[in-house]
Structure formats: structure tokens, C-alpha cells
Chains A and B, each alone.
Chain A
Amino acid sequence: MDDVRMIEVKEEILADNNQVAAGVRDQLRSKKTLLINLMSSPGSGKTSLILRTVEGLKQGVKLGVIEADIDSKVDAEKVAARGIPAIQLRTGGFCHLDATMVTQGIDALSANILDLIIIENVGNLVCPAEFDTGAHKNVMILSVPEGDDKPLKYPLMFSICDVLLVNKIDYLSLSDFDLAAMRKRVLALNPNIKIIEVSCKTGAGLEEWIAWLQKEVESFRSGQRSK
């Protein structure tokens, strides 16, 4: 019988995905297309935010949307009804998008020259945080009815995002959601995150979100490297 021997492996398990993601980022940067990865729990308002963003962005910003859902195309139809090119990726049971799936979405949108592509990731605060999609910026939504303890339960998601949109603030007076406690928990995980309170229903706070996005799009269009 052969002796048992040890082989050194020393490899990152997610190296393949990370490499594809880095390729997506570079390719889109050279085309001056900003890629945003939007993540949240189911029902916190990702599709509503995208529809509000379509209304709010300046004329002339060309937007495309990659929708991910386990098995439906309801979201893409809502976006396409506004005249925005939208691709629905059905993840077929997968709980997140990876960089290869995003590549398929980008290819399917490639007939359009775009300034901005928003990925609506699968509604889930766990898995999407682990897989780099190739996005230049990660944005998440936490809605008031979900509770202020979510940063304690899903720390990884809060730690990887550039922007946190706290949605449904019109519901704040009806709930015991503690904005200050939530803010403190999120900033402890991620001191650089930008927190914006919004309501996709009333429109409150959306101008700050649109201004941030518009600035990012413009810095990409002018070929500047955004931080």
C-alpha cells in the first residue's frame, strides 16, 4: 500500500470567480460603463429603487439593467416597460449571481452603448456578499420593516458595500426601528459606507442617491478613476 503523503495546494477557492470579476471591471471601465451591484433582502425595494432611478437620472444617461431572479421575469418586464434595456437572468435555484453569469447579462446588453448598468441581484443578504460580480460599486438596501438589527445578523454584506440606502423611511413612525443604533452598527463594520435614508414611495431622500450616482457616472464618462 502507498504511503500517505502531503501535497501543498495553497489556492484561493474563489480565485476563478475573482479573476472573471476583475476582467468584467476592466472591460467595462475601458468602455466607460459603470457597473453597480444592488443587493438586499426580498421585498426591500430593489425594483422600486431602479424605477425611481430611471425617473431621476438626467436625460442622456443611458442605463441598462440586469435582473436576477430564481425563476421569473416579472422584474425585467417592469423595467422594460419604461423603455430601459433589461435582461432577466434566471439563476435556476442559485441564491446569488457570480461574475460569469453577469458576463452573460453584459453580453446580452451589448447592442446598447450604456453609461450605467445596474445589477439587481437575487434578494438575499447572505450569498451575494461572498461573490464578486465585477461591479465597480456595491449598493445595498435595508428597509425599515426588516429591523435595525440586520447589521448584526449579516455583517459581511454591510462590510462590503459602498452605499447603504435605508428605504421605507415613511414607515419609521409606525415602527420601533432605531436609526441611530443601526447607523452605529453599520459604521462599526464599515466606516467608509455612505448611508442615505430614502422612501421609494414618497420620493424622500432620493435626490441624494441620484446625485451620488450621477457623480459616479460622470467620473466614469470623463475617464477618471473613481476611488
Chain B
Amino acid sequence: MHELPITESILKIVLKHADKNNVRQVMAIHLRIGKLSDLEDDWIQRYFDYLSKGTVAQGAKLIIERTPIILQCNSCKTSYEADMAAIGDAVCPACGQTDSTLISGREYYIKDMEVQ
């Protein structure tokens, strides 16, 4: 639902780096987005295609790596992966406690880009 402002930020950062590196064409952008985010990959690409028209990033493909939701048990410190739909019912596989801290799953990160 909030793909548009996220996509605007992505484009702004990409164009800044393209400008710094004398890029003629951005081919692909590698992103890392946590699984806790509700963003839809297709919509980010569609918004990006629209916003990037007439820039060196026009036509660039967004390649999105989804980082898993990782919880760490507050009792025994075991880290384990949780599913988005079941995160509220997640229990530590080692000791059975439900008290945990989120250590990964909220990333919004641009790793690198392929350019000419």
C-alpha cells in the first residue's frame, strides 16, 4: 500500500549513485527487503517503471531478495525463523518459550546495481 513513497526513495538513491559514477544506463538494482514488509514486488516494479521514465534508470529491473523473519529467544538465546502468518504463535524450538526479540525481517536496503 505504501509502495509509492518507498519507490520514490529507491529512485532518488539510485540516481544519486548513477550521477556520481557517470552511468549511462542502470540495468538492474539489487534490493534487500525483510519479509515483515507488506510490499508487493510487482507493484514496486510498476511504480519504478513509471517514476523512472526519462532517467538513466528507465527500464532497470528490480531484483528483490527477501530476508527471513528471525527471532531470538529471550530465555535461551536460540535464533529461529518464523513465518509471517504464524509469528504471533511462534515458540522457541529449543526451549518452548514464546518470549522473543526480532533480529531480522524489517530490512529496506539497496545493495548494489548493475550499470553501463
A and B part of one assembly? yes
Answer yes or no: B84 CB below 8 A from chain A CBs: yes
**A53 surroundings in chain B (CB, below 8 A):** none
Whether A4 touches B113, Cβ cut-off 8 Å, given contacts A14-B108, A126-B1, is no
B-side binding surface: helix, strand, loop or mixed? mixed
Q: Which of A4, A12, A127 contacts B108 (CB 8 A)?
A: A12
Using a Cβ–Cβ cut-off of 8 Å, how many residues does chain B contribute to the interface with A? 44
Measured in the bound complex, the distance between the Cα atoms of B1 and A94 in whole Å is 9
How many angstroms between the C-alpha atoms of A13 and B44 in the bound complex? 13
Question: B residues within 8 A CB of A159?
Answer: 36, 102
Q: Which of A63-114 contact B (CB under 8 A)?
A: 94-96, 98
Sample of 17 more A-B contacts, CB < 8 Å, known A5-B114, A17-B9, A185-B89: A7-B18, A8-B111, A8-B112, A9-B13, A9-B110, A9-B111, A13-B31, A94-B2, A95-B2, A151-B88, A152-B86, A155-B87, A156-B106, A185-B88, A189-B88, A189-B102, A191-B74
Residues of B whose CB lies within 8 Å of any CB of A are 1-2, 5-6, 9-10, 12-14, 17-18, 21, 23-24, 27, 29, 31, 36-38, 74, 84-91, 98-102, 106, 108-116
